């Protein structure tokens, strides 16, 4: 196993097969990619799911900003249930609006 200039781990296919669990943990924990070689030729890359998603569907700028604000305010730690409760409470506090106008209000005079 060696590391190239980009801090990428390079391993043989045999080493990847025998140490897959350990390599998988390193990729996730250290946020590094892993190049798997067979007979000295790169054949595959192992990435964390977070890195893969970032490559496959880059985060729009607005979502990045919202995420930063959420981390600053601590709201990124809320569970789905807590978010649902906050939304329901905010909706309950809003004044009710009528869905339909009465027939007399829409009739011209």
54 or 5: whose pLDDT is higher?
A: 54
How would you classify the pairing of strands 41-46 and 2-3?
A: unpaired
pLDDT, position 104 = 53
45 or 50: whose pLDDT is higher?
A: 45
The C-alpha atoms of residue 17 and residue 6 are separated, in whole angstroms, by 23
pLDDT, position 1 = 63
Show Cβ contacts of residue 37 under 8 Å, excluding neighbours closer than 6 positions: 10, 11, 12, 13, 43
The per-residue pLDDT of the chain, averaged, comes to 83
11 or 99: whose pLDDT is higher?
A: 11
- 54-103 pLDDT, tens per residue? 888 777 888 888 889 989 998 888 888 998 998 899 888 887 776 555 55
Q: What are phi and psi of 57, to 5 degrees?
A: -145, 85
């Amino acid at each position: 196993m060696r590391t190239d200039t980009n801090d990428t781990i390079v391993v043989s296919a045999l080493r990847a097969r025998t140490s897959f669990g350990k390599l998988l943990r390193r990729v996730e924990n250290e946020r590094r990619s892993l190049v798997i070689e067979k007979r000295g030729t790169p054949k595959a890359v192992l990435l964390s799911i977070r890195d893969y998603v970032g490559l496959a569907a880059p985060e729009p700028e607005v979502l990045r900003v919202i995420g930063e604000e959420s981390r600053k305010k601590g709201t990124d730690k809320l569970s789905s249930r807590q978010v649902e409760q906050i939304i329901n409470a905010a909706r309950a506090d809003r004044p009710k609006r009528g869905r339909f106008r009465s027939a007399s209000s829409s009739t011209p005079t």
